[in-house]
Structure 1
Amino acid sequence: MGRPTVHLVGGPTAVLDYAGSRFVLDPTFDEPGTYQSGPVTATKLTGPSIRPEDLGAVDVVLVSHEHHVDNLDKSGREYARAARRVFTTVTGAENLGPQAIGLRPFEHAEDGAVRVTAVPALHGTPEIGVGNGPVIGFVLQADGWPTVYASGDNASVDVVAVIAERFPAIEIAILNLGAARIALRGDGFLTLTAELAVRAAALLGVRAVVPVHQDGWGHYTENGDDVRRAFRAAGLTDVLVALRPGDSATV
C-alpha cells in the first residue's frame, strides 16, 4: 500500500503527493494584508511557508471554491490559472481558464492513476451555506493507495456522514477547520470546529486526520491547540496528524 505525503503550506493550502501525482489544495500564496469583498473584510495574518515557484512540478490544483479570498487569494488565483489542470466547482471553472474542469458533487475526473471525485460541502449552517455559494470537497482513489478525503470548507457533520456512506474505505481525511466566522454571515461557523472534527473523524473511521485552514487568517476562531485538545479529550490523539506550516508528514 502506498503512503501519501502531505506538506502544509499554511491556511487551507497543502501539497499532496499521491499515487504518482502531485496535488495542491486551495492555493493561497499572498503575504499578509487586508481584503475587501463587498461588505466583507478578511485579514490575512501570515504569509505562506513556501513560495509557489519552489513547489516543483504540480499535476493538479484542487480548488474547493474560488470566490472566497482565504481559499484562493490573488497569488493563488494566478497560480491556478497557470496550472496544467484545475478541478473545482462548475461555477469556479468558468473563472479559472480553459484548463479548469468543473465538477458537480459525485462527478469524477482522472489524473494519471488517480480518480478525483467531487463531494458535497456546506459552507456554514444550511441558511448561511446557501448564501456562501457552491463549495466542494474531493475524494482521491488509486489502486494500491489509501482513499483520501479533502473536505474543502465544509461545516456540516451531516454532509460528512453522507460522504462516509458513499466512500466507506476513506482512511485519511484532510479537514478544513478553524471554526471560521464572519459577523456579516451571522453567528454560525463556516467551517468545522475542533469538536465537530472529532465527530467527523469518528464517522469516517479514518486512521489519520490532517487539519488545515486553522492558521493565518483573522476570521479563524480556533487554532491547532484547540484541535489537539479536542482530539486528546476524545482519546483520538493517535489519529491526529498535527502539522504546522512548513511541516510534512507521510501518512
Structure 2
Amino acid sequence: MLTVTRVVHASVLLDFGGARILTDPWLSERPFYYQGEPRSIATAADLPELAGIVISHGHYDHCDLDALIEYPDKTVPFAVVPGLAGKVRAAGFANVVELAPWQSTHLGPIEVTAAPASHGVPEVTFVLRADGHTVYFGADTLRIPELDEIARRFPELDLALLPINGLRIRPVFNRQVVMDATEAADLARALRPRLAVPIHYAFTSGPLGDRLMTKSDRNRPDLFRAAAADLAPDTTVHILDTGRSLPV
C-alpha cells in the first residue's frame, strides 16, 4: 500500500508499505521565506522513521539542512542532486549518493531514479518505485520537454506530485523558474499518472518580498484541477491539505 502525506510546500512523506521517504525537507522559516500554509511536522525530531530522504536541489525551501539536523538517525540514506553531497555530509549525514538524470539507487527497499529538471540551478526530479507503486516527484522544475521521457521509461505512474505556482523572480527580468498550473496539467497529460497532487503553491516572500522580489499564483490549486480536467482528463486530481494522507 502507498500513502502520501503533505508536510508543507514540496515536502511530502511517501509511505511505501511502511518504508517512508521524505522529499525536499523544509522545516523552518526565515525572512522572505514563508510557507504560507500550516506545516504538519513541527521539527525534524517529530519525523517518523525514514527509509530515506531525496533532495532535488540546494535552495533553502527544499534543502533545510539546519533544521534537519534534529533528525536523530544520522545514518538515514539520501539521494541528492549532483554537487550537494558535501553539504549534506557537513550537516552530519554520511550516507549520501548523488544522482544525475536517469541514474538510480535504492533507499532501503525503494528504487529512486533521478529525472531531468530546470530551475536556474542544478536540480533533478525523482521517480520512486516500491511495493508495486511508482511515484513522480516534480520538486519545483519548469515544464521542459525532457520530462516527456519519463512516460517512456515509466509508463505506469500511480502518482505525480507537481509544482504549480509558476514562480517568477522579479529582479531578473521577471524570469519564470517554476511551472504554472496549466504547464503542470500539460505534464500530467504527458505522464498519464493515475492520480496527481499539486504541490509548491502556498509559498510567499511576505508583503514586501511578494511586491518587489517574487510573483506567483499562490493558493490556487483549483487552477491546476481545472486545467487538468481539460488537458489530462484520465488523471484524478486530489488537492491535499498539509497533514492529510491520501491512499494511492
TM bucket normalised to smaller: 0.7 to 0.9
Instruction: Give the whole-Å Cα distance in 1 for the aligned partners of 2:83 and 2:126.
Output: 16
Partner of 2:238: 241
Q: CA deviation at 1:169?
A: 2.3
Equivalent of residue 16 in structure 1, options 14, 17, 36 = 14
| Aligned: 1:118 with 2:105 | no
Of 208-217 and 181-190, deviating more is 181-190
Matched residue SS, 1:24? strand
Equivalent of residue 61 in structure 2, options 70, 87, 92 = 70
Matched-pair contact (CA < 8 Å) for 1:12–1:212: yes
Equivalent of residue 187 in structure 2, options 193, 200, 211 = 200
Matched-pair contact (CA < 8 Å) for 1:30–1:47: no
Equivalent of residue 160 in structure 1, options 129, 147, 157 = 147
Partner of 1:229: 226
Task: Give CA deviations for 1:104-151 in whole Å, capped at 9, x if unaligned.
Answer: 11111112322111111111xxxxxxxx22101111123x51211111
1:115 maps to a residue whose letter is: E
- TM-score (norm. length: structure 2): 0.83
Partner of 1:189: 176
Measured at CA, do residues 25 and 100 of structure 1 come closer, stay the same or move farther in structure 2, by a change above 3 Å? same
Instruction: Give the whole-Å Cα distance in 2 for the aligned partners of 1:196 and 1:54.
Output: 35
Identity between Structure 1 and Structure 2 (%): 27
Partner of 1:87: 79
Matched-pair contact (CA < 8 Å) for 2:162–2:196: yes
Instruction: Give the whole-Å Cα distance in 1 for the aligned partners of 2:234 and 2:201.
Output: 18
Q: CA deviation at 1:185?
A: 3.5
Matched residue SS, 1:91? coil
Matched residue SS, 2:171? helix
Partner of 1:6: 4
Instruction: Give the whole-Å Cα distance in 2 for the aligned partners of 1:248 and 1:113.
Output: 21
Partner of 1:109: 105
Partner of 2:129: 141
Instruction: Give the whole-Å Cα distance in 1 for the aligned partners of 2:23 and 2:65.
Output: 15
Matched-pair contact (CA < 8 Å) for 2:186–2:232: no
Matched-pair contact (CA < 8 Å) for 1:46–1:217: no
- TM-score (norm. length: structure 1): 0.82
Matched residue SS, 2:158? strand
Q: CA deviation at 1:208?
A: 0.4
Provide the aligned length of Structure 1 versus Structure 2: 232
Q: Runs of 5+ in structure 2 lacking a partner?
A: 206-213
Instruction: Give the whole-Å Cα distance in 2 for the aligned partners of 1:151 and 1:216.
Output: 16
Task: Give CA deviations for 1:2-36 in whole Å, capped at 9, x if unaligned.
Answer: x31111111111111014410001001114x315x
Of 51-60 and 69-78, deviating more is 69-78
Matched-pair contact (CA < 8 Å) for 1:70–1:217: no
